[in-house]
């Protein structure tokens, strides 16, 4: 069972599909469309929503993202679920990590083999298996293959939201939280912000008092925001860009910040504090500050329905001789966006592996068959009795 999936992983890992590589993403979209062609239903290639970012000079620029695939099967069936997986990786076209190698007979090292080209192969194999089941007519599904998950899904978030509407449950094919197959439970939210500081330039020797130092204000802002950190809320001030020659008071700076709240209340408090601190720093330094960005990944707590779905996956694992548990994770993914729509989701249905986002990323090959069987059984159980 694993051989066709392994062939897919090897072929897909050889296609660079970094989030900014539009040609590579188009090639992956074609591969996935071909792999899904035998499934019933309709597949569509959809344009992303418009996306902008702030450059080092504080200017807002449009960012191009790849197109996204949407497969729709039996939309009139009584039970409807959502499956999602991303075709992009964190490895750009000029990254040195581009090829696969065997670390042992059952461990494959390669770009995206775990996150998540292995997961894509598992999902598609499970759907093919489920379509041979006599229970298939009771369950309809949509599958979203998006092109920008690794950069926060800015262009595909509206598609994910539309696809989640009315679904009983969702499965997302990120790799397991641990190499032993442990699933991710609750996740924090995540907000990425570019804070643009507009000061006033002046000569650093002749009239520094006439200047308004944007770099100093950005540093002050970074210190104040960092002080917000506490259990339930992490703040990472990642970069300050701006300034110029040493003899000029800098009139611009951009501060990049990531904020991760554990709960919706933490997110609301963080949003209020962010705006308040920006206003305080702007007043203290007599300059203008503009915030760009949002909490694109809402917190994902585990409610009763989410717990039921985890228990269903664990029960299916036991039937297959797989011991499955879960633990809370500090990472975020499309599961956050799906859960925010009120849909229970297990978002680590992909392969066992590890060292993702690094040149040591690896896939445990036997998990291809394990996880495909697990997903196929979960689909059968969902078609019978839901949650």
pLDDT tens-digit profile, the chain (387 residues): 578 999 999 999 999 999 999 999 999 999 999 999 999 999 999 999 999 999 999 999 999 999 999 999 999 999 999 999 999 999 999 999 999 999 999 999 999 999 999 999 999 999 999 999 999 999 999 999 999 999 999 999 999 999 999 999 999 999 999 999 999 999 999 999 999 999 999 999 999 999 999 999 999 999 999 999 999 999 999 999 999 999 999 999 999 999 999 999 999 999 999 999 999 999 999 999 999 999 999 999 999 999 999 999 999 999 999 999 999 999 999 999 999 999 999 999 999 999 999 999 999 999 999 999 999 999 999 998 777
Among 111, 130, 151, 182, smallest CA distance to 349 is for 182
- Domain with residue 215: its CATH number is 3.30.70.360
Which residue, 277, 297, 317, sits at the end of a domain?
297
Same domain, residue pair 282 and 149: no
pLDDT at 1: 58
Q: Are residues 275 and 329 in the same domain?
A: no
Say if residue 89 is in the same domain as residue 166.
yes
Please check whether residues 54 and 194 belong to one and the same domain: no
Residues 212 and 88 in one domain: no
231 and 91 in a common domain: no
Per-residue burial over 335-349, b = 16 or more CB atoms within 10 Å of its CB, e = otherwise: bbbbbbbebbbbbbb
Strand partners, 85: 145
Q: Quote the pLDDT of residue 318.
A: 98
Q: Cis (ω within 30 of 0) for the bond into 116? A: yes
Query: 258, 276, 297 — which closes off a domain?
Result: 297
Q: How far is CA 342 from CA 170, 171, 219, 281, 348, in A?
A: 10, 14, 39, 37, 18
165 and 126, same structural domain? yes
Q: Are residues 277 and 363 in the same domain?
A: no
- The answer to whether residues 216 and 339 belong to one domain is no
Count the domains in the chain. Answer: 2
Say yes or no: 237 and 100 in one domain: no
What's the token pair of residue 133? 């089941």
- Provide the pLDDT for residue 387: 72
pLDDT of residue 385: 73
Q: What is the secondary structure of 304-347 as a DSSP string?
A: HHHHHHHHHHHHHHHHTT----EE--S---HHHHHHTTT--EE-
**Considering the entire predicted model, what is its pTM?**
0.95
306 and 293 in one domain? no
Domain end, chosen from 263, 297, 331, is at 297
Instruction: Look at residue 114 in the predicted model and tell me its pLDDT.
Output: 98
Q: Which domain holds residue 284?
A: 190-297
Burial of 39 (0-12, 13-18, 19+ CB in 10 A): middle
Residue 143 forms beta bridges with which residues?
A: 71, 83
- What is the full DSSP assignment across 41-93? SEEEEEPPPP-EEE-TTS-EEE-----EEEEEE-TTSSEEEEEEEE--BS--T
Indicate whether 286 and 373 sit together in one domain.
Answer: no
């Amino acid at each position: 069972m694993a051989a066709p999936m392994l062939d897919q992983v090897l072929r897909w890992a050889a296609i660079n599909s970094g989030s900014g590589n539009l040609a590579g993403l188009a090639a992956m979209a074609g591969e996935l469309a071909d792999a899904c062609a035998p499934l019933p239903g309709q597949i569509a290639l959809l344009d992303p929503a418009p996306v902008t970012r702030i450059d080092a000079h504080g200017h807002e620029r449009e960012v191009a993202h790849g197109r996204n695939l949407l497969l729709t099967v039996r939309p009139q069936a009584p039970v409807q679920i959502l499956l999602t997986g991303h075709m992009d990786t964190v490895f750009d076209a000029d990254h040195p990590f581009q090829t696969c190698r065997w670390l042992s007979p059952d461990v494959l090292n390669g770009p995206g083999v775990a996150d998540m080209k292995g997961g894509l192969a598992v999902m598609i194999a499970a759907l093919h298996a489920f379509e041979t089941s006599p229970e298939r007519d009771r369950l309809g599904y949509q599958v979203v293959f998006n092109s920008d998950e690794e950069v926060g899904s800015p262009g595909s978030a509206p598609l994910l939201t539309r696809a989640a509407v009315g679904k009983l449950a969702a499965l997302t094919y990120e790799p397991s939280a641990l190499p032993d197959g442990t699933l991710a439970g609750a996740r924090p939210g995540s907000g990425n912000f570019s804070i643009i500081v507009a000061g006033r330039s002046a000569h650093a020797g002749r009239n520094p008092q006439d200047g308004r130092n944007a770099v100093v204000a950005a540093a002050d802002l970074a210190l104040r925001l960092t002080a917000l950190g506490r259990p339930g809320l992490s703040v990472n001030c990642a970069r300050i860009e701006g300034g110029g020659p040493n003899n000029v008071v800098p009139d611009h700076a951009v501060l990049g910040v990531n904020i991760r709240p554990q709960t919706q209340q933490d997110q609301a408090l963080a949003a209020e504090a962010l705006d308040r601190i920006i206003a305080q720093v702007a007043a203290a330094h007599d300059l203008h500050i503009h915030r760009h960005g949002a909490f694109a990944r809402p917190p994902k707590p585990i409610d009763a329905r989410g717990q039921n779905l985890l228990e269903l996956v664990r029960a299916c694992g036991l039937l297959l001789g797989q011991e499955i548990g879960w633990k809370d994770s500090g990472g975020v993914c499309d599961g956050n966006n799906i859960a925010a729509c009120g849909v229970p989701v297990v978002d680590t249905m992909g392969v066992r592996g590890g060292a993702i986002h690094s040149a040591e990323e690896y896939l445990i090959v036997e998990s291809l068959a394990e996880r495909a069987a697990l997903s196929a059984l979960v689909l059968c159980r969902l078609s019978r009795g839901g949650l």
